[in-house]
Amino acid sequence: MQLRGAEILIKVLKQEGIHTIFGYPGGVLLDIYDELFKGEIRHILVRHEQGAVHAADGFARASGKVGVALVTSGPGASNTVTGIANAYLDSIPIVVLTGQVPTHLIGTDAFQEVDIVGITRPCTKHNFLIKRVEEVAKTIHEAFHIARSGRPGPVLIDLPKDVMAAVTEYEPQPPKKIEAESPRPASKKAFYVMDLIAESKKPLILSGGGVILGGASEELRQLARRTRMPVTSTLMGLGAFPASDPLWLGMPGMHGTYYANMAISTCDLLIAIGMRFDDRVTGKIDHFAPNAKIVHVDIDASSINKNVMVDVPIVSDCKSALQSFNALLEQKNFSVTDDQRKEWLDQIDAWKKENPLSYCQSDTEIKPQFVIETLYKLTKGKAIIATEVGQNQMWAAQFYGYDEPNTFLSSGGLGTMGYGFPAALGAKIAFPDKLVVDIAGDGSIQMNIQEMATAIQDNIPVKIVLLNNGYLGMVRQWQQLFYGKRYSSTDMTYQPDFIKLAEAYGWMGLRATKPDEVEAVLQKGLDAPGPVLMDFRVSREECVYPMVRPGGPIHEMALGREMAN
């Protein structure tokens, strides 16, 4: 069958199971957009290319499938870089299709030409420039395979205009299945881990985003429950283990819970699964888990012994490793009761009582934590939550309980302000029947606020819970704590009237300025059928606690009591 490159592209996308893409047209994409006009694939028209990539990323995080963005050459392509780097640092499988000038013009500084393959080389898992129409089908299949296999990541494909217009013979090929190539733990090592678990008096599981990406949450739960090992998860790993389980410790690290950080600092066995010992988690490396034998399971060999030297390195995908641990436990008929763990679990309970996550409630000012707690209560923890970056993100991690994987979407590695809202749109596309909420700050939301138009045009009714303190709150917090309260350029008092702005875009806008209005505003906003922005005027100088000072050991936390009124 003789087909044009653009037709082949659409056919291959459909074969890869893609029903929706996020994009923005341009001159070199005309052939592709003409093909999209047939309506075989749903196209969500974003208002900025960064939004397209974040939306594809949010789609991928929520659904576990590959998200796809389509953008034009030059500025369209360069606008995707932040979104791509964001997906790269969090290992999110997306495919970014960029238009390119015709092959004979490449390298001539043609109109809207950039070397996007060169620009994104260090922030993609892999990228391609397709120079012949005969390569289109094979390359796109390969890109999808690379994006989702092994440690997932973003893959970019540069599509010159003439290649999309050219005609070639096309025979459909079946998409590459993920072969059982993913590494598995050697049985000797799995046995050794069993011995360590059996010997340990104070074991702890530290899980990360890899457990979610690898679809291994169920296996994680089995392991923890059978051995009564408490669980803490990095920001990226929230939801893999249910926050409602008594073994749950919350997130560790810079803004982690007191008890998670104390557990890490005290445990004698740390089983780290699908996480990479980011500096925000470890604090000062020399003081990280000083008493523990560390087992580290990761699919990426380069993550092992990179930051923390471990005792038992296991290069494996999380699911295989956890399955082999669980199988051995079954085989040996090994399990632990709460009674046998009593001493350790009691210690953890004591820490939980000593310093629970808390804030100082007020009658006059809305506390941002209170907004999130109320949101948690009203949604019964069932919403998909996307976050922006900064204080809003940390409070969303602390005060909303995630019971299921793929329900917390947050820019962990890159810390991209402006991520949450477009990511929420992507998640809503993946799950139209689920409630999707972006927890935002007034700084972050203004970074991709243009996508409010997208939500209306393509009917994507997400909710924005805006914790509006008129500051770049997290930077202000550091200025308060470490720079003598010199709030250099973090005051954003001048801002749009978010209600009017919402209404101008065709959204519903709601506002709460007092604590007793919070629940009613949330209820009304969540119940409304369309997209709603809820502007909560929160206590301006609230800080995120606990806080480990940058570069400090994680057992030394400021708990914020000194700040209480």
Kindly list the residues in this chain that would bind another protein in the complex (CB under 8 A): 117-118, 121-122, 125-126, 129, 146, 300-302, 305-306
Closest CA to 437 of 398, 460, 463: 463
Active site residue 142: no
* DSSP code per residue over 29-57: GHHHHHHHTT-SSEEEE-SSHHHHHHHHH
In the complex, what is the shortest distance from the CB of residue 125 to another protein, in angstroms, rounded to a whole number? 7
Nearer to another protein, 247 or 315 (CB): 315
Considering the complex, what minimum distance in angstroms separates the CB of residue 122 from another protein? 5
Cβ atoms < 10 Å from Cβ of 551: 9
CB of 534 vs another protein, minimal distance in Å: 42
Nearer to another protein, 210 or 426 (CB): 210
Write the burial class of residue 393 (CB in 10 Å: 0-12 exposed, 13-18 middle, 19+ buried).
buried
DSSP type of residue 429: H
CA dist., res. 373 & res. 357, Å (int): 11
Buried b (16+ CB within 10 A) or exposed e, 271-308: bbbbbbbbebbbbbeeebbeebbbbbbbbbeebbeeeb
Closer to another protein at the Cβ: 117 or 499?
117
The three-point CA angle 454-62-314 to 5° equals 145
Beta bridge partners of 512: 536
* CB of 77 vs another protein, minimal distance in Å: 16
Q: Which of 16, 22, 144, 161 is catalytic?
A: 161
Q: Supply the minimum distance, in Å, between the C-beta of residue 142 and another protein.
A: 9
Q: Which is nearer to another protein, 153 or 420 (CB)?
A: 153
Nearer to another protein, 115 or 458 (CB): 115
Q: Is 112 a catalytic residue?
A: yes
Catalytic-role residue among 111, 173, 354, 382: 111
Clarify whether 457 is annotated catalytic. Answer: no
- 251 a catalytic residue: no
Residue 481, judged by CB atoms within 10 A of its CB (0-12, 13-18, 19+), counts as middle
Helix axes 81-89, 49-63, angle to 10 degrees: 20
Q: Which is nearer to another protein, 158 or 442 (CB)?
A: 158
For residue 304, the minimal CB distance to another protein (Å) is 8
The distance of closest approach from Cβ of residue 301 to another protein in the complex, given in angstroms and rounded to an integer, is 5
Residue position matching structure tokens 């740390």 = 270
Residue 250 class from Cβ within 10 Å (0-12 exposed, 13-18 middle, 19+ buried)?
buried
Q: Is 474 annotated in the active site?
A: yes
Can you list the alpha helix ranges (DSSP code H) found in 70-135?
Answer: 75-78, 81-89, 116-119
Contact yes or no for 361/516 (Cβ under 8 A): no
> Whole-number minimum distance, CB 298 to another protein, in Å?
11
Catalytic member of 49, 365, 373, 542: 49
Q: Given the structure tokens 């369209």, which residue do they identify?
A: 76
Identify which of residues 93 and 426 has a Cβ nearer to another protein in the complex. 93
- Would you say 239 and 528 are in contact if contact means Cβ atoms under 8 Å apart? no
The secondary structure of 435-459 as a DSSP string is -EEEEEEHHHHTTSGGGHHHHHHTT
- Residue (118 or 356) nearer to another protein, CB: 118
Cα(156)–Cα(80) distance, rounded to whole angstroms? Answer: 10
Catalytic residues: 49, 111-112, 161, 474
